[in-house]
Amino acid sequence: MSAPTLYGLCAAALVGIGLFGLILHPTPLRKVISFNLVGCGAFLFFGIAARRGAGAGFAGDPIPQALVITGIVVAFAATALAVALILRMLEAGASTVDAKPLPPDDLSP
Amino acid sequence: MTASGLLIASGLAVPLGMSLACFWPGVRERALGWIWAAPIPALLAALFARGGGIVMSPEPLRLTLALDDVGAMLLGGAALLWSAAGFYAATYLRGQPGTGRFAVWWLLTLAGSLGTFMVADMTSFYLAFSVASLSAYGLVSFETTARAKRAGDVYMALALLGEAFILLAFVILALGVPIGNPLIREAVAALPSSPLLAPALILLVLGFGLKMGLAPLHVWMPLAHPVAPMPASAALSGIIVKAGVIGLMRFLPLDAGLPGWGGGLVALGLFTAFYAVAVGITQQQVKTVLAYSTVSQMGVVAAVLGAGMAAGAPGTALLAAFYALHHLLVKGALFLGVGIVAGSAPRHRILIVLAMGVLALSLAGLPLTSGALAKYAAKPLFGDGLAAALATLSAVGSTLLMLHFLRLLREMPAADPDAAPEAGILLPWAIVALASLVMPWILFQPVAGYALADLFEAKALWTAIWPLLLGGVLAIALFRIGRALPQVPEGDVIVLAGTLWPLVQATGRQIETADRWLRQWPVASAMLIVIAISFALAL
Amino acid sequence: MMPAQVAAPDGVLLILALMLPSIGLLAIFVLGHSRPERIALPVLAANLAVALIVALQVGHSGQAATYRLGGWLPPLGITLRADGLSAALIAMAALILFVVAIYARGNFASKAGGSESRQPMVFWTLLLGLSTALNTVFLAQDLFSLFVALELLTFSAVPLVCLEGSRETLRAALRYLLFALAGSVLYLIGVALLYGAYGTLDIASLHQVTRADRATSIALGLMIAGLMAKAALFPLHLWLPPAHAGAPAPASAVLSALVVKAPFFLILRLWFDVAPQPQPVIAGTMLAALGAASILVCSVLALRQARLKLMVAYSTVAQVGYLFLVFPLVMGSEAAVPWASIGWTGGVLQLVSHAFAKASMFLAAGLIAEAMGHDRIDDLGGAAEAVPISIAAFALAGLSLMGLPPAGGFVAKVMLLTAAVVSANWWIAATILAGGLLAAGYVFRVIGRAFADPAGGAPPPKAVARSRELAVLSLAGVALLLGFLPLQPFAYLGIGQGGMP
């Protein structure tokens, strides 16, 4: 098994685990972590693309690395925003954010 | 840009401008007293600007106004009735709350309905038709009773449905002409050779038939016309239904000679004519009877158009317009007259009821009235077959229905024993009634191509009189057994639709439940994955 | 590529469209703690001027304006490009943002001499953030820059939802954020796959090399689904009603009018510029089917809402559905290129007229709620007396949603209907008409209640500023003016579409 294939399988596994958590974990914090797992999978895909040197026939393509760095920053910002929202919810009186699932129907703003 | 073109444009601009002026509350409160003046430019245009036209905006929009004979005839009649009814409304509604709002809806409806007679391009027609159709809601639901609200809701729902039919028909029509906004006649000329002729014709008849009240799409009329204030009823029943008539006249390929489609329209029209009489004679409200009479008469107009389309006869639209003009004035005068009778003591009524008798029987073709002229002019279109016989028999039905109406009118509960009709409502009624008697005589010869003397021949007189006599005999029978007839509710088949309402509500609730389920996080996010996989497979 | 073209003067304006709002945003942090609107309003006005000049230049030259950052060519460099469609959309976004800003002075004006307050600060900086993000989405030319732009858009939009800070709005914002992130991450995986397959993310380059193979299909499927989640197409609309209904009116207006359009714009670009030609019919039909479901189901739901803002929010989901009808209509047309077809033009016009109409509607709903003290539709009696201009604006915007003349929505609807008839997609024609009827139902329900007599015992309505009412009316007026466009494909929107470098 070549290294890119192994990485590819890892990436796929990360995405799978992340999606599972994103869909089925009821609590927001776990969803945020799951999102980060899927994101890591996506970044790994970029890494494989770099390794395979698809772009311009380089041995190691530098562009995906730039993309991954940007992507990590974006994911970090997203995580920070999500955590900030969760904290604000705690302050606003939802004492059990971590244990309580998002209610299915919250149309009443 | 010609003087006649400007006059035609002012016919539209003045009522629209007046309705815009009602943005200022001060103007709005006083508007009711001035609505009689809004249709005057249109009336002048109908009299003096025939054959004129104006292009309001250049290519590719080319909104175009043009006044041909058909349009001028209906425009003149409609403008006269709008003006008279507006004058009547100023007295009739004086001191009531919400007259400012009434005036705004009145002016908008008026502008739209006059517009339908003047416009020559498809977009403008749709615009004018929509304005007339939708603004009339304000007139229907002016009274804040539950009955008026229901009538308004039904009216609105069906009016919008009609708009949808017409829009799709217009889209199909416009496909035949490779420019953005074709003139109506260009589009209609291309229609008979279109592969989509069948859906286009069906949609046109559905859409405009709904406005005219062709059965079974007539259900809103017996609900909506009676609940409006009297002058608005006159306008709705006299004029607004003509928006459907002018639509069929303008958009059906009348000179293409389509026997199958024409025959179908004749059948639909005659069915409507008899069906409305049958339901109408069971009604006990004066205005409802008049509304059913409108349905019946519009059935006859549709049959005239159908017969013309079947034969490809030139001049069909003009003959149908002549019939429609007769109905417009007579029905307007009848509704206005009902308001006078209702508001006056029995001893002041006699002359008016007599005059109403003449007007009412005019609808059945009483000799020497506009009805006889209109029927005589349209008769040759039907030929000699079954359709002709049924068209003549429809006059029997009209006689029966009108005698029923006159009996109800005579029995109307008396108002204050001293109440005399006010000049402010008597005068406009008299003008419309007089116009209905005089105007057809002036137009008869140019429209029908017969000499007036033909009308006085014994054969012509007898053709007009025997349906009246037969109708009279039937009416006597009806009065004898009248109590035994079933009481059909207003709007007849709409009651059946009412039974479906719980089903509609239940469907709505089910959709809500489904939505609540779909909006759960696990469901929605699983859907996201499913959609991603489906598209990956499909692409 | 010739260096002269790199330095083309019209290209400089594109970078200005990105920079101006960002500079304004930073300037608020540095200078304007106490009066953020004093910085934001002029910046948005300048942004509007830039967008209009770009739009005029594109129309004047008949060519797309291009700017290459640092003069680097793709795939290493980043290109900004305004073709006819992009130019029209940045002008639309800039105009709506500016009018919303004028309106929002009533909600978020900081008090004179007062110290820094959180809500105005957050609102005005995020509004500028949205402006940057939208301009970037409409101008960027590579799929990764577009990813970053979309994220920037989401991060600016989410806090707007919970400006009020109540638990419900925070929850709505969190739900919005998480679902949008789920969408983004699918999009990102798609981007990675495309890069792996083709070694480039520049749309113009991809346009020439994409083939119909497994990797491309999977990548496009993931990206389109992810973008749908961000566009809140049924059945992925879970986040939109609470988020848009919970946000303050000016924020809702921007979210509904502009933010959900950005992902749709990207789907349009993926479909026509990236996906291998010809696109499979089945996929186009699936997009349209989801659009049709969106129209029918969410219009019915809008009809059944008790709260005005929720009704308007559901109406957004329904109206976004119309946009997705475009795909099979364009494929079924006889036009040589998609942008010459009436269906494509109708779709774009629907996007633009809905943006103006919906912005106006949400702002009007905000004023109605301010005046009446609540937004329960059944208790709106007397609103027509209290805020007549807002009700008029609501009704005019409603005309556009219903597709009645002379509104822009009418022209769009007629174009879509024509395309549906030409391509013999009768089910789409029926859906469009049924959607119009349902829209009429929910609009008239509100108008009818507003004209009713006020309920006894209701508190007297509060007055609202006339200038704000006029701002709302002006947006509805634009939606109405769009109705005077001719019923044919616009050459403007086709500028720069075919001649991709």
Q: Are residues C237 and C356 in the same domain?
A: no
Q: Is pLDDT above 90 for B284?
A: no
Give domain status of residue C440, yes or no.
yes
Cα angle value B422/B423/B425 (rounded, 5°): 75
pLDDT at B206: 94
Work out the pLDDT band at C32, boundaries 50, 70, 90.
low
Give domain status of residue A50, yes or no.
yes
CB distance C229 to C179 below 8 Å: yes
Q: How many CB atoms lie within 10 A of CB B143?
A: 17
Q: Are residues C208 and C238 in the same domain?
A: yes
- Reported as a single tens digit per residue, the pLDDT across B318-375 is 999 999 999 999 999 999 999 888 888 877 788 888 899 999 999 888 888 888 888 8
d(Cα B102, Cα C409) in Å, to the nearest integer?
A: 28
Q: Which of C154, C181, C240 should one mutate to test binding to chain A, selecting the residue with the greatest count of A CBs within 10 A?
A: C181
What average pLDDT score do residues B516-538 get?
A: 92
Give domain status of residue C315, yes or no.
yes
Note the Cα C275 to chain centre separation in Å. 23
pLDDT at B30: 87
Place of tokens 């449905």: B161
Strand partners, B64: B55
Q: Are residues C324 and C220 in the same domain?
A: no
Q: Give the closest-approach CA distance of B522 to chain A in angstroms.
A: 5
Q: Are residues C125 and C154 in the same domain?
A: no
Work out the pLDDT band at C102, boundaries 50, 70, 90.
very high
Query: Touching check for A82 and chain C: CB below 8 Å?
Result: yes
Q: Are residues C366 and C441 in the same domain?
A: yes
pLDDT at A108: 41
pLDDT at C498: 62
pLDDT at B342: 86
Q: Is pLDDT above 50 for A100?
A: no
d(Cα B135, Cα B103) in Å, to the nearest integer?
A: 11
Question: Tokens for B262?
Answer: 């024409």
What average pLDDT score do residues C117-141 get?
A: 91
- Burial-class residue B192 by CB neighbours within 10 Å (0-12, 13-18, 19+): middle
**Residues 60-99, chain A: which have Cβ within 8 Å of B?**
none
pLDDT at C8: 47
Give domain status of residue C353, yes or no.
yes
Could you give the percent of chain C with pLDDT greater than 90?
Answer: 52
Q: What's the number of CA atoms in the CB half-sphere (13 Å) around residue C219?
A: 27
DSSP 3-state assignment of C292? helix
Q: Is pLDDT above 70 for C315?
A: yes
State which of C218, C243, C277 marks the end of a domain: C277
Q: What is the mean pLDDT of chain C?
A: 87
Work out the pLDDT band at B60, boundaries 50, 70, 90.
low
Q: Is pLDDT above 70 for B83?
A: yes
Query: Touching check for C283 and chain B: CB below 8 Å?
Result: yes
pLDDT at C112: 55
Q: Do A105 and B519 touch (CB under 8 A)?
A: yes
Work out the pLDDT band at C113, boundaries 50, 70, 90.
low
Chain B contacts of C484, Cβ < 8 Å? 61
Q: Is pLDDT above 50 for B133?
A: yes
Give domain status of residue A57, yes or no.
yes
CB distance C246 to C172 below 8 Å: yes
d(Cα C197, Cα B299) in Å, to the nearest integer?
A: 69
Work out the pLDDT band at A98, boundaries 50, 70, 90.
very low
Give domain status of residue A101, yes or no.
no
* Phi/psi-derived region of residue B315, left when phi > 0, alpha when psi is between -120 and 50, beta in every other case: left
**DSSP H helical ranges for C234-341:** 240-246, 249-254, 261-269, 281-303, 308-323, 326-331
Q: Is pLDDT above 80 for C1?
A: no
Q: What is the mean pLDDT of chain B?
A: 88
pLDDT at C116: 53
User: B277-281, B491-495, C259-263: which has the minimum mean pLDDT?
Assistant: B491-495
Closest CA to B233 of B139, B309, B370, B306: B139
d(Cα C281, Cα A41) in Å, to the nearest integer?
A: 32
pLDDT at A58: 60
What secondary structure letter does DSSP report for B238?
I
d(Cα B90, Cα B29) in Å, to the nearest integer?
A: 12
Q: Is pLDDT above 50 for A55?
A: no
DSSP 3-state assignment of B390? helix
Give domain status of residue C130, yes or no.
yes
Identify which has the larger pLDDT, C441 or B452. Answer: C441
ipTM: 0.90
d(Cα B86, Cα B90) in Å, to the nearest integer?
A: 6
How many domains would you assign to chain A?
1
Chain B positions with Cβ closer than 8 Å to A:
516, 519-522, 525-526, 529
d(Cα B461, Cα B456) in Å, to the nearest integer?
A: 6
Q: Which of B521, B527, B530, B531 should one mutate to test binding to chain A, selecting the residue with the greatest count of A CBs within 10 A?
A: B521
Q: Which of C37-46, C251-260, C463-472 has the highest mean pLDDT?
A: C251-260
Task: Considering only the beta carbons, identify the residue of C148, C170, C184 that sits closest to A92.
Answer: C170
Question: Tokens for B390?
Answer: 């049924």
What average pLDDT score do residues A27-32 get?
A: 90
What are the C-alpha distances in Å from C289 to residues A58, C314, C326, C345, C431? 43, 18, 11, 20, 10
Q: Which of C147, C153, C171, C205 should one mutate to test binding to chain A, selecting the residue with the greatest count of A CBs within 10 A?
A: C171
Q: Do A104 and B519 touch (CB under 8 A)?
A: yes
- Reported as a single tens digit per residue, the pLDDT across C345-389 is 999 999 999 999 999 999 999 999 988 888 888 888 888 888 888
Q: Strand B64-66 to strand C65-68: parallel, antiparallel, or no bridges (unpaired)?
A: unpaired
Distance between first and last Cα of chain C: 10
Query: Touching check for A103 and chain B: CB below 8 Å?
Result: no
Identify which has the larger pLDDT, B489 or B237. Answer: B237
pLDDT at C69: 80
Domain encompassing residue C109: 1-139
Could you give the percent of chain B with pLDDT greater than 70?
Answer: 99
d(Cα B54, Cα B6) in Å, to the nearest integer?
A: 7
pLDDT at C36: 84
d(Cα B128, Cα B246) in Å, to the nearest integer?
A: 12
Give domain status of residue C408, yes or no.
yes
User: B311-315, B521-525, B532-536: which has the minimum mean pLDDT?
Assistant: B311-315
pLDDT at C6: 39
pLDDT at C173: 92
d(Cα B457, Cα B451) in Å, to the nearest integer?
A: 11
d(Cα C242, Cα C262) in Å, to the nearest integer?
A: 20
d(Cα C91, Cα C84) in Å, to the nearest integer?
A: 11
State which of C236, C262, C277 marks the end of a domain: C277
How many domains would you assign to chain C?
3
CATH code at A82?
Answer: 1.10.287
Give domain status of residue A96, yes or no.
no
Give domain status of residue A106, yes or no.
no
B380-401 burial code (b ≥16 CB/10 A, e <16) = bbbeeeebeebbbbbbbbbbbb
Q: Which of A93-97, B474-478, C251-255 has the highest mean pLDDT?
A: C251-255
Give domain status of residue C229, yes or no.
yes
Q: Are residues C499 and C357 in the same domain?
A: yes
Query: Touching check for C437 and chain B: CB below 8 Å?
Result: yes
CB distance B450 to B376 below 8 Å: yes
Q: Are residues C28 and C72 in the same domain?
A: yes
Domain encompassing residue A63: 3-91
What average pLDDT score do residues B424-431 get?
A: 91
d(Cα C410, Cα C480) in Å, to the nearest integer?
A: 9
Give domain status of residue C295, yes or no.
no
User: B149-163, C101-115, C344-358: which has the minimum mean pLDDT?
Assistant: C101-115
Give domain status of residue C398, yes or no.
yes
Q: Is pLDDT above 50 for C170?
A: yes
- Reported as a single tens digit per residue, the pLDDT across C471-484 is 999 999 999 888 88
Kindly give, in sequence order, each residue whose CB lies less than 8 Å from that of residue A59, ignoring residues fewer than 6 positions away: A53
Q: Do B522 and A22 touch (CB under 8 A)?
A: no
What average pLDDT score do residues C484-498 get?
A: 76
User: At B54, phi and psi to the nearest 5?
Assistant: -155, 135
Q: Is pLDDT above 90 for B75?
A: yes
